């Protein structure tokens, strides 16, 4: 089953990357950006865990089969304030956040968008209960969280990586 979900995601990522590269080459004005669930929003690059994937808009189950997903009420990476919140699978659908537990304070996370590339530095990593939704609360300054289930093969807790934009 894990192998099969990877094929689904690999195909979706290839299509999303083509769509995303076209938008980067021909960016729309920011005020014309429309959020559409399942569409490409950014490219996430995390050198520490060798991750380079396209982030889709939404965390609904269908969107997360394509890759990491941007929470519905999340800030967007190019905004000057607010928290960008991204969820990703840890054991299925190419398991983008398989090694998220390896992240350390100071690690780089990049979000490339059609409006530029934004660098974030990890400030802390925490394990919380799934009910701890306050981790996604908005902030005044531009910040980022990445969330995934933990431990692997369980949904009993959430692993959360917090980062500040440079």
Which has the closest alpha carbon to 59: 51, 50, 67, 47? Answer: 67
Q: Where are the domains of the chain?
A: 2-27+38-165
Residue with tokens 């920011």: 30
Question: Tokens 């889709």 identify what position?
Answer: 56
> 2-27+38-165 falls under which CATH superfamily?
Sortase (2.40.260.10)
Chain segment 70-91, per-residue pLDDT in tens: 999 999 999 999 999 999 999 9
DSSP per-residue codes, 58-122: --SHHHHTTS-EE-TTPPPTTSSSEEEEEE--SSSTT-TTTTGGG--TT-EEEEEETTEEEEEEE
Note the pLDDT tens digit of each residue in 143-164.
Answer: 999 999 999 888 889 999 999 9
């Amino acid at each position: 089953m894990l192998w099969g979900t990877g094929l689904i995601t690999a195909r979706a990522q290839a299509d999303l990357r083509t769509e995303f590269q076209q938008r980067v080459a021909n960016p729309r004005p920011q005020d014309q950006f429309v959020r559409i669930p399942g569409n490409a929003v950014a490219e996430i690059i995390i050198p520490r865990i060798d991750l380079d994937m396209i982030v889709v808009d939404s965390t609904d189950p269908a969107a997360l089969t394509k890759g990491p997903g941007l929470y519905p009420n999340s800030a967007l990476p190019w905004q000057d304030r607010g928290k960008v919140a991204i969820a990703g699978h840890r054991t299925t659908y190419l398991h983008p956040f398989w090694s998220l537990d390896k992240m350390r304070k100071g690690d780089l996370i990049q979000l490339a968008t059609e409006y530029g590339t934004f660098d974030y530095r990890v400030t802390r990593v925490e394990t919380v209960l799934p009910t701890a939704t306050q981790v996604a609360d908005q902030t005044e300054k531009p910040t980022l969280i990445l969330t995934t289930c933990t431990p692997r093969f369980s949904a009993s807790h959430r692993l959360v990586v917090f980062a500040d934009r440079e």
